[in-house]
Structure 1
Amino acid sequence: MNKELIINVTSNEITIALFEDKQLVELNKEKCKTGFAVGDIYLGKVKKIMPGLNAAFVNVGYEKDAFIHYLDLGPQFTTQQKLVNILTNNKKIPNFETMRLDKAMGKNGKISGFIASGQSILVQIAKEAISTKGPRLTCDMSLAGRNVVLIPFSNKVSISQKIRSAEERKRLKRIASEVLPNNYGVIIRTAAMGQQDEEIKHDILSLIERWKKVISGVRNSTAPALILNEENRTTTIIRDLLNGSFSSICIDDQTVYEEVREYIRTIAPEKEKIVKLYKGNVPIFDNFDVSKQIMSLFSKYVSLKKGAYLIIEHTEALHVVDVNSGNRAKVDNDQEQTAMDVNLAAAAEIARQLRLRDMGGIIVIDFIDLHKSENRTALVEKMREMMANDRAKHTILPLSKFGLMQITRQRVRPETHIDMRETCPACHGTGLVTPAALLDTQIEKQIAYYAKEKKLDYIKLRVNPVVAAFLTKGVFSLRLRWMLKYRCAIRIVKNTTTGIIETRYFNRKDEELF
């Protein structure tokens, strides 16, 4: 699979488009300097304990208080809190590696027994603010690198289940054990498979240095305060996806280009040459056909082959996808086979849409009814196959007796939304337009004003083609009657971009009249 990354940089945001075999599959938008991104670490202040929810609200500096549940405190919260108390009391920074870890917290405790209002706690953003909710927090810290995820307050080495070779798992565990100090654990990612020993060790040691910066940052901060920024969205995507199948990374901004090159030089020097600076006169998204694909993919209706289509609706609680056969049902005779073909095509497109729009939470799909059990099973397997490359955690349930498929997909950021609507040129968004019967009266009043009051002997009207036809219809047209009545030359110019009730007036020098 050939992958390309197209990055468009503006003053307000960075937009990152991921292509797989020339098809747009992910679109990420990162607002410049907005903060509160997944992975950011903050020193927060507890605002309110909610015993009924076994949770608390924490002030991390966001406009809405963030939320943390008891289960998100993590097994070593008490040890972490001891460290925070020492640091916030301006004492000497302790040696983290010699700290004694407390007994792991149970899963049935009460949050009120561990934190109190006004207390400072070290937290990490687990989910960005979505809709009316503030960020979701965790105290179970983790720092992600290209090959490993560092877990402070742990001594465990875990390995990705996708690495199946017993020999490779043994090698990776040995590498991590050789370099890890006490009180540090790691999760070895799939990307580490086949990597050089030194590269993995370097990744672990660089993450340990980042954690030490967190410790020193807490000592010099007062809650609420940002302690450590997660890498920006661009480098995060590159970190998670960069592999041998990447053919190019094209960027239209010199600064971001240099940042990405420097980052890739650090994690994969042999890949540095695939980073290219775009200098074309045409906008980068237009040049690489990104804009066209965005316009066709983010609408409510998504077309499939041979007339079939999807309807995608969003609600506060869930997302609904309806699969329609369209004209296919009128052409094909075998109803079951037609339904199966449309459903299989829909499954592939829906899997793509989930990634593209970053739709999370509950997704309900209304497939076309299938009567054969083997077809129903094959459809579920097809959906699982299509979503195998989705980096977000997800669960796919079998079809219900009503033909509905339910999917839960991890949601850590707001859904990507491209507004496909424009302000109506006729009513300018008010929903009110002038009745057509009064249109000629309004135009005549303006012509009378310019001819009598301004003493103009020539007026050019720029109007919608429909209005132009109305004004010039017949031998004795409105235009001719007005010319005779006001002794003024009137020219009608058709303009397709002009609203149906919009009229613009110009003099002989083509200067607009107001």
Structure 2
Amino acid sequence: MNTELIIDVRETEVAIALLEDKQLVELNKEQSNVQFSVGDIYLGKVKKIMPGLNAAFVDVGYEKDAFLHYLDLGPQFNTLQKYVKEHYSRKSRPVPLSKFNLLPDIEKGGKITDVLTSGQPVMVQIAKEPISTKGPRLTSEISIAGRNLVLVPFNDKVSISQKITAPEERKRLKRLMESIIPKNFGVIVRTAAEGKKVAVLDAELRSLIKRWETTIEKLKTPGYPALLTSEIKRTSAILRDMLNGSFNSIYVNDENVYHEIREYIESIAPEKEKIVKLYNGNVPIFDQFGVEKQIKSLFGRTVSIKSGAYLIVEHTEALHVIDVNSGNRSKSSNDQETNALEVNLAAVDEIARQLRLRDMGGIIVVDFIDMHNNENRQMVYERMKELMSRDRAKHNILPLTKFGLMQITRQRVRPEMHIETKEVCPACNGTGKVEATILLDDQIENRLSMICKGKKQKSITIKLHPYIAAFLKKGVLSKRFKWALKYKCAINLQPMSSYHFLEYHFFDKHDNEIEF
């Protein structure tokens, strides 16, 4: 599989698109002012105890208090609290965790009032970003993720990823980690660690322990709520979690981010350093790689599949509903059962893609076309499980009911990706009327005349819709050629698929827009 990552760095956000065989399967947008990310560690302040929910609300600096349930405290919560208390505002060097005496585990069915009181400080980690009207979801079972390992302080277990299936490799990794892990630290061995040598894993383990020690060091600074450790940037986090042997190219349009990614990849996978490439083209990077067009076609309420079939995607507060429609396929010469199976199998491919692309979480109900044959229903179910196995989010899939409904639950840790594909027409501002299109080339020429005569430009780039660009370039004596002779100015026409039909802008030789 050909896997590419396209990174579009803008003034207010960084957009990251993952392509598999040129198809867009994941899209992440990181705002430059985002404050709370999954993995961030805070020293928070307990604001309110809710015995009825067996939970507490914790102030971590967000406008709404974050939610911490008793079951998310972790078995060694009392040890964590004791450790934090001993190091908070302490001037001397922190005691290494390997020399700290662990307290007994808290009761699994205990009460929140037994371990927390209002006003006390508590170390927490963001488990879910703020979603809709809810504040962040917290956990006190702290973990620090690396590419191959996840470090879990106040733990003594070595867990191996279930995706590593070879028994000998599982035994090797477990034996290896048990020999190098310090006391009072646990570790989760990730799938990427398969086949890695002890030197690589040992170096990463030391790096993760160093990050933990840096986190504890910040407890010396009085005052809370306070950010102790921030998760690495979304770009690097995606690379850390997804980079594998199938990655072929990473394209980025910003030199600073380019160097940052190269340095990061050099540290985790030196052999992959050369796949990072700086994009310097004039066409926007998402247009160049066909991402913009896919975004417009994939994020609407209606999503086309193939051969006339399509999906209807609806979002409610409680769940997401996806309806599979056969469309023109109902006219196929195949019998109804065969036709339904073909459409449903094609729909499964697109649904698995849509769940990753929109990062849809919670409950998803899919209404497939009715099939009477149990074997066909099982085939659709197995196909969905196979495709969803590529999804990094935790999920659970139930077989189709006799009514053709499939229920899926998928982990949600960030707000769902939503892009409005329909917008008020910028040409008519919603009135439904525009200037006569036959006059468009005259309007462009009038603006061009003003620029050439008034602003003394000798080289101009006109960015406009591809159809209009093609019209202006048509023929040996094209309008572009005539304008260049008439105004003694070099004119370049640059097609922009993201522009609406009547949109155009003028740019100088330094690619700065010429204002009127």
TM-score calculated relative to the size of structure 2:
0.83
Aligned to 1:487: none
Aligned to 2:32: 32
Deviation at 1:465, TM superposition (A): 5.9
Aligned to 1:54: 54
Aligned to 2:174: 173
Contact 2:332 2:339 in 1 (8 A): no
Contact 2:89 2:221 in 1 (8 A): no
Deviation at 1:463, TM superposition (A): 2.8
Deviation at 1:428, TM superposition (A): 4.2
Query: Match of 1:6, as an amino acid?
Result: I
Measured at CA, do residues 190 and 498 of structure 1 come closer, stay the same or move farther in structure 2, by a change above 3 Å? closer
Out of 278-287 and 324-333, give the one that drifted further: 324-333
Separation of aligned partners in 1, 2:391 and 2:398: 16
Contact 1:45 1:224 in 2 (8 A): yes
The secondary structure found in structure 2 opposite 1:28 is strand
For residues 438-475 of structure 1, the C-alpha deviation after alignment (integer angstroms, 9 at most, x for no partner) is xxxxxxxxxxxxxxxxxxxxxxxx8346999xxxxxxx
The secondary structure found in structure 2 opposite 1:238 is helix
For residues 387-431 of structure 1, the C-alpha deviation after alignment (integer angstroms, 9 at most, x for no partner) is 1100000000111232111000000000011111222458846xx
Where in structure 2 are there 5+ consecutive unaligned residues? 441-467, 469-499, 504-516
For residues 80-112 of structure 1, the C-alpha deviation after alignment (integer angstroms, 9 at most, x for no partner) is 000111122526322321111111122210111
The secondary structure found in structure 2 opposite 1:422 is coil
Separation of aligned partners in 1, 2:356 and 2:427: 36
Deviation at 1:219, TM superposition (A): 2.1
* Structure with the greater alpha carbon radius of gyration: 1
Query: Match of 1:419, as an amino acid?
Result: E
Query: Match of 1:315, as an amino acid?
Result: T
Separation of aligned partners in 2, 1:296 and 1:242: 27
Deviation at 1:288, TM superposition (A): 0.6
Aligned to 2:414: 413
Separation of aligned partners in 2, 1:270 and 1:348: 32
Query: Match of 2:163, as an amino acid?
Result: K
Deviation at 1:2, TM superposition (A): 1.4
Aligned to 1:342: 343
Aligned to 2:78: 78
Q: Which residues of 2 match residues 428-507 of structure 1 at below 5 A?
A: 428=429, 463-464=435-436
For residues 5-24 of structure 1, the C-alpha deviation after alignment (integer angstroms, 9 at most, x for no partner) is 00000111111100111111
Deviation at 1:332, TM superposition (A): 2.7
Aligned to 2:122: 121
The secondary structure found in structure 2 opposite 1:121 is strand
Query: Match of 2:82, as an amino acid?
Result: K
Measured at CA, do residues 463 and 91 of structure 1 come closer, stay the same or move farther in structure 2, by a change above 3 Å? closer
For residues 485-508 of structure 1, the C-alpha deviation after alignment (integer angstroms, 9 at most, x for no partner) is xxxxxxxxxx99689xxxxxxxxx
Aligned to 2:256: 255
Separation of aligned partners in 1, 2:439 and 2:262: 56
Deviation at 1:287, TM superposition (A): 0.5
Aligned to 1:147: 148
Aligned to 1:102: 103
Separation of aligned partners in 1, 2:206 and 2:170: 20
Contact 1:464 1:497 in 2 (8 A): no
Separation of aligned partners in 2, 1:69 and 1:45: 15
Deviation at 1:167, TM superposition (A): 2.0
Separation of aligned partners in 2, 1:427 and 1:22: 35
The secondary structure found in structure 2 opposite 1:342 is helix
Measured at CA, do residues 306 and 78 of structure 1 come closer, stay the same or move farther in structure 2, by a change above 3 Å? same
For residues 35-89 of structure 1, the C-alpha deviation after alignment (integer angstroms, 9 at most, x for no partner) is 2100000010111111110011111011111101000000000000001111225
Separation of aligned partners in 2, 1:326 and 1:11: 42
Query: Match of 1:157, as an amino acid?
Result: V
Deviation at 1:357, TM superposition (A): 0.4
Contact 1:3 1:245 in 2 (8 A): yes
Aligned to 1:68: 68
Separation of aligned partners in 1, 2:245 and 2:386: 22
Separation of aligned partners in 1, 2:309 and 2:166: 43
Separation of aligned partners in 1, 2:98 and 2:30: 36
The secondary structure found in structure 2 opposite 1:463 is coil
Contact 1:463 1:498 in 2 (8 A): no
Deviation at 1:318, TM superposition (A): 0.6
The secondary structure found in structure 2 opposite 1:167 is helix
Separation of aligned partners in 1, 2:501 and 2:335: 46
Aligned to 1:245: 246
Contact 1:308 1:324 in 2 (8 A): yes
The secondary structure found in structure 1 opposite 2:307 is helix
For residues 314-347 of structure 1, the C-alpha deviation after alignment (integer angstroms, 9 at most, x for no partner) is 1111100000000111223400000000000001
Separation of aligned partners in 2, 1:207 and 1:162: 22
The secondary structure found in structure 1 opposite 2:207 is helix
Separation of aligned partners in 2, 1:264 and 1:222: 36
Separation of aligned partners in 1, 2:270 and 2:113: 50
Q: Which residues of 2 match residues 71-470 of structure 1 at below 5 A?
A: 71-90=71-90, 92=92, 93-424=94-425, 428=429, 463-464=435-436
Aligned residues: 444
Aligned to 1:471: none
For residues 156-183 of structure 1, the C-alpha deviation after alignment (integer angstroms, 9 at most, x for no partner) is 1111122222221222123212321111
Contact 2:79 2:103 in 1 (8 A): yes
Separation of aligned partners in 1, 2:306 and 2:127: 39
The secondary structure found in structure 2 opposite 1:389 is coil
The secondary structure found in structure 1 opposite 2:34 is coil
RMSD: 2.1
Contact 2:54 2:70 in 1 (8 A): yes
Separation of aligned partners in 2, 1:7 and 1:116: 45
Contact 1:311 1:321 in 2 (8 A): yes
Contact 2:248 2:275 in 1 (8 A): yes
Deviation at 1:136, TM superposition (A): 0.3
Report the identity percentage. 62
Query: Match of 1:12, as an amino acid?
Result: T
Measured at CA, do residues 293 and 498 of structure 1 come closer, stay the same or move farther in structure 2, by a change above 3 Å? closer
Query: Match of 1:348, as an amino acid?
Result: D
Contact 1:175 1:201 in 2 (8 A): no
The secondary structure found in structure 1 opposite 2:108 is coil
Aligned to 2:487: none
Contact 1:44 1:120 in 2 (8 A): yes
Query: Match of 1:28, as an amino acid?
Result: N
Where in structure 1 are there 5+ consecutive unaligned residues? 437-461, 469-494, 500-514
Deviation at 1:113, TM superposition (A): 1.0
